[in-house]
Amino acid sequence: MKLYYAPGACSLAAHIALQESGLRYQRARVDLRDHEVDGVDFYAINPKGYVPVLELDDGERPTEAAVVLQYIPDLNPGTLAPAFGTIERYRLTG
């Protein structure tokens, strides 16, 4: 996986979640002023132009922080949140 992030943006939450999950991932710092990452036009990665973007191994790219923050705990159930579909998980948002 690769997390596209920018300092001071809402991608920080996804960055923290990935660190806490213990999952392996790469980071790619996005320059939001120029919309570039490693010399590439960031709009080619995310047409919306913002972070976070979590590029999965199969090429999918969730781009909404709320989605990314639900996806990460499901990759390693029980580390950041109880397993999906359990009442304990639903209590986190209630």
Give every CB contact of residue 10 below 8 A, 6+ residues apart in sequence. 51, 52, 65
Per-residue tokens: 27: 């980071």
Between CA 2 and CA 28 the distance in angstroms is 7
CATH superfamily of 2-91: Glutaredoxin (3.40.30.10)
The domain spans of the chain are 2-91
- Residue-wise pLDDT for 12-39, tens only, equals 999 999 999 999 999 999 999 999 999 9
The pTM of the full predicted model, rounded to 2 decimals, is 0.87
CA torsion 76→78→84→85, rounded to 10°?
150
Per-residue tokens: 41: 């036009």
- Residue-wise pLDDT for 33-68, tens only, equals 999 999 999 999 999 999 999 999 999 999 999 999
